Structure 1
């Protein structure tokens, strides 16, 4: 199997609006009044964003852009790029120039980097714990409004996979869709008639009976096995393996760093976990002047 390609940087045009909005939010109506009141213009400084605990670097691109938007004359050197592992005390990036500019961009840079490092580090922890299986850990749409592109990239930097980015890039038929559509067969048949050849169809089931019905119909590309125990997941995998058309199987619900290995060992193809983005702990990174 060929090695995975590195996760490329995001186009600046995609991330610039979010970083600009964060800076505007932080500056309010009058800018940084503390810096204005205490630091004379022209004061030069050198600072570094340092890891205060081990993890995976992420959000570096956003932090670098934040400083550049504050002051394009700042000299920024990336010491650890997005996706690199780091230990406590590592310098992730350094910035040199006008002290006032560094202070005005500090919090926004740290906010992006701390959250994305937290997501990437948690994802890496789980990816490593299930590396002995064929399963991959994936995110969901349970992301921070306005930050989805950053958070999903952080998942990839941590060795995870991305589920759909929005409502428009895949069909995912969930329990409420089934109620409104009148059942599994009409929902799947309408979805197949609607979707073009490039649009995947995934169906969520919460019982083996629903799985059997879906396998018999044979339309779904992927089947999401919702809130099933490892024992039931193993049986679901066995039944899918016997089907004429085996769909990709995705386990979801109740997945934590502690339960992920036993779930992955059932033979499912994918574990999707909202907690990667909605309940992650920000990694401790800080900016220090020298």
Structure 2
């Protein structure tokens, strides 16, 4: 077994190797270094959570982020995606060990990297980070860590908007899908705020996609809302179903105005597929929609 000093030296060597390989465009060497750093982080997560331990883990995850940024400079998207995956693994491990501050820190790095990758037009890299955000968000829903669920949703929204603006075909669509899945996972746990947040964010993304005249992104949002509506209906969250129906109808009208015929048809079909009979005609639900819109404004202020 390595002594403490030998272990620390091995960590430093792995960081140096990761940075060097990333700058040199060595994919295999970069990924191997990142995987080693994940193993070191896992070891530290299972140790006593004192101040020194916390600093050591944060230094490791920051280093993984630095390696990812170096890989982005050389357009090595697979290494960037691997970094997002590893940081997602560390986030999940920290959460499973009830180390929420560490999970928040690591998830924030994943989200920041996703945005940076999207800004640079690295769609594959951004999609990899989005997958980590989405998988983490679903796990947080299942264990009812609502702060982390909201953080996951917030980053997914930002990445989706950035991807639309940059015309990236994959990462924004993936983000919309994961938002629907996180909402569905929250519905299963009866976490109404997180479920409603997902629905409200998806409506905003749908509106943005229509403004960008992006039919693929619009259809992805519609599909996510439809899947979320099915889950919400199954778990009896009627008020949120009202929001989803309202969102789909809003998107349907906007797509009709913009001439996005395929998306318009998809929105209409989605409305018909979820159990919305009479929902939009009841006076009490119109009042509920007004309440939801107020909640909508609060969510946007938080973002």
Which category of TM-score, normalised to the shorter sequence, fits these structures?
under 0.3
The higher-RCO structure (CA 8 Å, 6+ apart) is 1
Structure with the largest fraction of helix = 2
Larger Rg: 1
Q: TM-score, normalised by structure 1?
A: 0.26
Tell me the TM-score normalized by structure 2.
0.25
